[in-house]
């Protein structure tokens, strides 16, 4: 088993920011296993994965669907973190108008918690 969510994501999706480790756990390289592990991961483990594999928010090889789910799970775990809400909104914005309303709602919620 991969030791961390980051290790599993790196093996499954690759990593343009660091070397992809040699791995003999091909049976574990299935999207549903990654999604299952992501679903039950804690906030710190999810943040580590996102910041390691996509340090510039929209780069990296982590699929948009996985990044969106990761931010959704983070926001649900940290309902009072305006910086994280803004980061999640910024992550949604470059991917078309489908999620613009959600991104704007996240920004409004963040501003209500911390107007800066």
- pLDDT, position 26: 67
The per-residue pLDDT for range 95-106, each reduced to its tens digit, is 778 889 999 999
Mean pLDDT across the chain: 87
Residues 6+ apart with CB under 8 A from 108: none
87-to-4, 55, 73, 113 alpha-carbon distances in Å: 23, 12, 13, 14
- pLDDT, position 10: 87
Instruction: Say how far apart CA 40 and CA 93 lie, in whole Å.
Output: 25
Residues 6+ apart with CB under 8 A from 9: 34, 49, 53, 62, 66
Which of 69, 67, 95, 71 lies closest to 81 in space, CA to CA? 71
Question: What value does the mean pLDDT take over residues 91-95?
Answer: 84
Residues 6+ apart with CB under 8 A from 105: none
The pTM of this model reads 0.87
The per-residue pLDDT for range 37-78, each reduced to its tens digit, is 999 999 999 999 999 988 887 778 888 899 999 999 999 999
Question: What value does the mean pLDDT take over residues 78-96?
Answer: 91
- pLDDT, position 1: 56
């Amino acid at each position: 088993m991969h030791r961390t969510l980051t290790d599993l994501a790196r093996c499954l999706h690759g990593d343009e920011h660091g070397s992809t480790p040699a791995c003999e756990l091909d049976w574990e390289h299935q999207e549903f296993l990654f999604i299952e592990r992501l679903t039950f991961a804690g906030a710190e483990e999810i943040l580590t994965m996102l910041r390691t594999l996509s340090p510039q928010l929209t780069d990296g090889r982590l699929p948009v669907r996985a990044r969106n789910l990761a931010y959704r799970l983070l926001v649900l775990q940290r309902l009072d973190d305006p910086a994280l809400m803004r980061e999640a909104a910024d992550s949604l914005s470059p991917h078309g108008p489908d999620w613009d309303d959600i991104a704007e709602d996240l920004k409004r919620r963040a501003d209500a918690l911390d107007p800066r």
